[in-house]
Amino acid sequence: MGEVGGNAAQEQLKLFISRIQNLEGEKKGIADDIRDVYAEAKANGYDTKAMRATIRELKLSTQVRQEQKALLNTYLAAFGISDDD
Amino acid sequence: MGEVGGNAAQEQLKLFISRIQNLEGEKKGIADDIRDVYAEAKANGYDTKAMRATIRELKLSTQVRQEQKALLNTYLAAFGISDDD
Amino acid sequence: MGEVGGNAAQEQLKLFISRIQNLEGEKKGIADDIRDVYAEAKANGYDTKAMRATIRELKLSTQVRQEQKALLNTYLAAFGISDDD
Amino acid sequence: MGEVGGNAAQEQLKLFISRIQNLEGEKKGIADDIRDVYAEAKANGYDTKAMRATIRELKLSTQVRQEQKALLNTYLAAFGISDDD
DNA sequence: ACGTTTGCGCTTTAGC
DNA sequence: GCTAAAGCGCAAACGT
């Protein structure tokens, strides 16, 4: 009669996994969209390699800025100075 | 006169890059959601490593899985190890 | 008027960092060597993916390996799939 | 008489894997050395977190410089200009 | 000492 | 098919 605990746990597990699979599907869809944009840009005569390099550089620059800020905070912390910003 | 072709092209390029950056942002958001689900599952007592392995296995076709295992067993045999446990 | 303690400390710090950087360089060199061996094996017709899997299995103790497989099978059972093939 | 091809191949495989395992052992040794240097620095009163941040920043700066150069070359190539440097 | 969080290495995937 | 880059998993490191 009714479900045993083991089955309930199994159902919950299946639910978690189902959610993840759905999200992975969405993620793949987004990746496909990105491919499409690159293809469209290429069809309009743009150099996709240069575009990718540009995007990468923009991302890296942001990272460096964040890292420098973090580094400063680390130094301040090392000297017991609060770094509330 | 108005805009020269070069400027229009630049605007179009910036638009393409902007679209890609937005999509990459969305993709990252989905990835974060997936991480959250794993975290929630972990909080409910599930082993996330085994969950990941499960999802991987479900994704793999039976044929591919068997081929991979067969080759691994062939290589392990060189060390006198059987993986049939 | 000799060196102040601050400078000596700075020199010592630079030395520590230099040692670490050198060691990291060596470590990267070893990693490159490993890549080379895989490349050589591939050139000789071996499947590097299976080789990596083999090395991983050899590293794992039998007990741990069996525990992992048992848990995976438990999870797969929720989907009515047996991994005994 | 002599070895059959299969055995010879097995021996070669074992050799490749053995070489990789040795290199991985060396790599681990280097990693341990790095840990030791950090421990020694810490024992001398230095802040290891700040040290790690410093080393990371130095590495990242180098990466950015290389990426910028690569980006320039990509642009030059996109305009059909040779980038021999 | 443990749990959390970040960095590093590997795996996989996409482009050429 | 190969090379390179991005994403992910794991393990060590920090803070509590």
Inspect the interface and report whether the beta carbons of C79 and B68 lie closer than 8 Å: no
**Separation in Å, CA B9 to CA A11, A40, C38, D26:** 54, 14, 46, 54
| Residue carrying the six token digits 């390996």 | C65
Q: State the nearest residue by CA to the C1' of E14.
A: A35
Q: How many CB pairs below 8 Å do chains A and D form together?
A: 42
Q: Report which secondary-structure segment, H or E, holds A15.
A: helix A5-43
Residue B67, pLDDT > 60, answer yes
Residue A11 CA neighbour count, 13 Å, CB half = 6
Asked if strand E contacts A73 at the CB level, meaning under 7 A, the answer is no
Instruction: Decide if B78 touches D, using CB distance below 8 A.
Output: yes
The CA–C1' separation of D78 and F9, in angstroms, is 37
Instruction: Decide if C50 touches A, using CB distance below 8 A.
Output: no
End-to-end CA distance of chain A: 60
Spans of chain C below 50 pLDDT: none
d(CA A37, CA C45): 38
d(CA D3, CA C76): 43
The CA–C1' separation of A3 and E11, in angstroms, is 40
> Residue A2: its pLDDT value, please?
45
Nearest Cα residue to B72 out of D38, C28, C50, C18: C50
Nearest Cα residue to B44 out of A13, C75, C77, A4: A13
| A75: confidence class by pLDDT, cuts 50, 70, 90 | very high
Question: Which nucleotides of chain E does any protein CB come within 7 A of?
Answer: 7-16
With beta carbons less than 8 A apart as the criterion, state whether D37 and C16 touch.
Answer: yes
Three-class secondary structure of residue D77 per DSSP: helix
Nearest Cα residue to A61 out of D59, D54, D74, D64: D64
The CA–C1' separation of B51 and E10, in angstroms, is 19
Instruction: Decide if A31 touches B, using CB distance below 8 A.
Output: yes
The CA–C1' separation of B8 and F5, in angstroms, is 31
With beta carbons less than 8 A apart as the criterion, state whether D37 and C23 touch.
Answer: yes
**Burial class of residue D56 (count of CB atoms within 10 Å of its CB; 0-12, 13-18, 19+):** middle
Question: Looking at residue B60, what DSSP letter applies?
Answer: S
pLDDT greater at residue B23 or residue B64: B23
> Residue D79: its pLDDT value, please?
86
A8, two tokens = 């309930």
- Chain B residues 2-61 with Cβ under 7 Å of strand F are 24, 27-28, 31, 34, 48-49, 52
Q: Name every chain D residue with its beta carbon within 8 A of the beta carbon of C26.
A: 30
> Residue C83: its pLDDT value, please?
73
Q: State the nearest residue by CA to the C1' of F8.
A: B31
Q: Which residue blocks in chain C are alpha helix, DSSP H?
A: 5-43, 48-59, 62-77
pLDDT greater at residue B64 or residue A1: B64
pTM: 0.88
> Residue B78: its pLDDT value, please?
94
Asked if strand E contacts C56 at the CB level, meaning under 7 A, the answer is yes
C18, two tokens = 């230099």
Residue B59, pLDDT > 70, answer yes
Residue A82 CA neighbour count, 13 Å, CB half = 2
| A83: confidence class by pLDDT, cuts 50, 70, 90 | low
Residue A23, pLDDT > 80, answer yes
CA-based angle B19:B24:B25, to the nearest 5?
Answer: 100
| A3: confidence class by pLDDT, cuts 50, 70, 90 | very low
> Residue A85: its pLDDT value, please?
57
Instruction: Decide if B38 touches C, using CB distance below 8 A.
Output: no
Nearest Cα residue to C76 out of B35, B63, B47: B47
Residue A82: CB atoms within 10 Å: 8
